[in-house]
Amino acid sequence: MSDENRHCERCNANIPPARVKAIPGTWLCLDCSEEVGGDFEYTATQQSLAKEGSMKRNYGGVSITKKRRSLAPK
């Protein structure tokens, strides 16, 4: 489906192309997105640089995973 003809998965409203361009992968209109708390769920996990089995905590960075939010029909 093209970005110009994308419709909301919950209410079938037209999603403006500007929203699709700003948030690639969105499948919710602005109203539904606000109701459910956003299109995606993000999880941040610290990356450990410590050796295996070490008690020392040495965190090097954070990895973030993005998952589509499960939706219930409106």
| pLDDT tens digit sequence for 35-68 | 888 888 999 988 877 777 777 777 778 889 988 8
Mean pLDDT of the chain: 84
Q: Rounded to whole angstroms, what are the CA distances from 63 to 5, 9, 49? A: 33, 29, 13
Going through the chain in order, the beta strands assigned E by DSSP cover: 40-48, 59-68
Residue scoring higher pLDDT (2 or 28): 28
At 4, is the pLDDT very low, low, confident or very high (cuts 50, 70, 90)?
Answer: low
Is residue 2 pLDDT above 80, yes or no? Answer: no
pTM, two decimal places: 0.63
Residues with Cβ within 8 Å of residue 53, at least 6 apart in sequence: none
Report phi then psi at 32, rounded to 5: -65, -40
Q: Residue 71's pLDDT is what?
A: 76
Counted residue by residue, the chain has a size of 74
